Structure 1
């Protein structure tokens, strides 16, 4: 394929400057697809939303490897001082997905000149990671659903770890999680005659207690419940409330425990509402299953990193946050790993965060080392 001039740092900063929320990544997708076409590829577009897939086949038969990066942004007001700060008020790349996508473009640039010798490499640019929707939709699309995939790899940048350090774990790397919104509906009344209404106040406290007791019920597996919002009635002294809302997030490092938590919580809430004579609705938001690393692929990441001379840190427990690459890893074996962004780098989802361009080459090199391990890579083509 034809070589082309490519400035990854400039492209990454362009993506950062024009961020788009989950399910609205149309312009970002066009930017990525245009660059892939410039490399000589014919990308499949609009896969599972604004997703993109590139297939790169070797000359001989062999395994199939999927490399995945995300490219959606977050509803956060940027507070960095960088020249490429977001031009979209209230939207920013506060999780580094601009860097993830750029690193995978760098891999595409290399594979355009050094294609795999055997098998096939799939480069997957995924939308809607932050809402936990994009991966499942892409996996369900015939473009991927019909593939026999042997290896899946993805990375996430990790503030709090030294730059370029590879962070990985066998088994669960990132927890399952979901948001839950519980709405209790009774009947409002005058505060002077509360008995003429049906107040959800007592039931609301029971629901909050049930939420906080969930982890104890599912010990020894790791589980966590975080209450994030609660509201009873309106801020009016003359009204006995008729409505209440409780919101929380549930997490576990084990998918079976995670599903059991949801089931037992649903049973408890329905019983509380029935006893109090209340109507109840339970809504689940942004669900993520746990991201499971196959032991063989954990070993591949460690070996490839060490071959490159990179320091490797093996986690003793999973990351508590979630990553919807878990949907790929639930279908095909693989591994999600982290790359340190700097021990004192601003944290993910903070308004002062910006992806460190220094680790783009680290991600590229490790991805390419994994491709070479499974497929072999042709010698570099002569400059054109």
Structure 2
């Protein structure tokens, strides 16, 4: 790894951009990767880029993916390259993930594929879920039609350079559910003349918690987290006629998410009917579970051993979600963890900074996978 990879990472960290606004970030990546003469560049969604290196003979098409976006969080650090953009920071490590792919491009340029194609995908908007979804639905991506897709995520709290893997689901499915309840306002002195959603909120929350605790319905962990409630207006003279409940649904398995969603909707429908309320249900930030394919996982294991890296096989998926699951729905994929250090600040914390000394580990692991498939 050359020093310009670390300089690139610091530069990306200094000028972070939030989801779907990664225009300058995308431009920096384009300028850097262009120096390695990819055979083709495909624009995906608003800011996404796919850099394609073609082999001389037919073979497998492999994608390595990194994320472009930062978070709307104010950084708290004394780094010389700390964020100059107010209330935006790379505190999830996407700057490091991009640097790893840039380093991979550097190595591929020196030893181009013999077979098939290698694609370095810089994906927008991972933090808000729609990035991978937009990419998968893009005609340019459909034309690439990959055989395998690989991605890594740094994991604070795990020994540096350790590779964290799991068969099947690696990270949880999640979605944000918004429930709107429509009744009828009235004077607070005459609540009987209105239809208040207050009692419905109480019933919905109670029944959702009972659903969450019903272990017989689910194969593995399923969670319902009430994150926000709004009832009426702040007016002591008015009995409310409108309410909103916002709930995060989370499960380790996509099948359990379907069950959780169906039962939650049925609870809301029945309570609304009983309380004489109209209702609306909508969803946002929908992340499928990221499912690892056995063949892809095998490539990662072999490459980790080849690089003398410690491997940790976890029993349960991570509770956090990743939009990489949109790739898993239609393609053979593997998402794995790269230890970022036991004393490293947690992801999404204001003082988080990606450790430069694990960049080379990520590059070498991806490069070994590439060598196994495209040579």
1:1-384 equivalences under 5 Å are 7-41=4-38, 44-217=41-214, 218-376=217-375
- Compute the displacement of 1:42 (Å): 5.5
Please give the alpha-carbon distance, in whole angstroms, between the structure 1 residues aligned to 2:168 and 2:275. Answer: 43
Q: Retained in 2: the 8 A contact 1:66–1:151? A: yes
Q: Distance in 1 between matches of 2:39 and 2:12?
A: 21
Matches of 1:140 and 1:232 in 2, distance apart?
Answer: 38
1:339 counterpart SS class: strand
**Cα gap change, 1:43 to 1:206, in 2 (>3 Å):** farther
Q: What's the offset of the Cα at 1:247?
A: 1.1
2:40 & 2:74 partners in 1: Cα distance? 32
Q: 1:189 offset after TM fit, Å?
A: 2.1
SS for the counterpart of 2:144 is: coil
**1:35-81 deviations in Å (ceiling 9; x for gaps):** 11122225525312211001111122221111111111111111122
Q: In the TM superposition, what whole-angstrom CA distance separates every residue of 1:294-314 from its partner, at most 9, and x where no partner exists?
A: 122212211210110100101
**TM-score of the superposed pair, with normalisation by structure 1:** 0.93
Superposed structure 1 runs of 4+ greater than 4 Å apart:
none
Change (3 A) 1:5 1:291: closer
Tell me, which stretches of 5 or more residues in structure 1 are unaligned? 377-384
Q: C-alpha offsets along residues 120-157 of structure 1, whole Å, 9 cap, x if unaligned? A: 11111100111111112112222221334222110000
Coordinate RMSD, CA, aligned: 1.7
| Cα distance in 2 between the residues matched to 1:280 and 1:244 | 10
Q: 1:217-250, CA deviations, whole angstroms, 9 ceiling, x for partnerless residues?
A: 4233321111111222233333222222211111
Q: Aligned pairs, how many?
A: 373
1:100–1:156 Cα contact (<8 Å) kept: yes
Deviation of 1:6 (Å): 6.3
- TM-score, length-normalised on structure 2? 0.95
Q: Which runs of 5+ in 2 are unaligned?
A: none
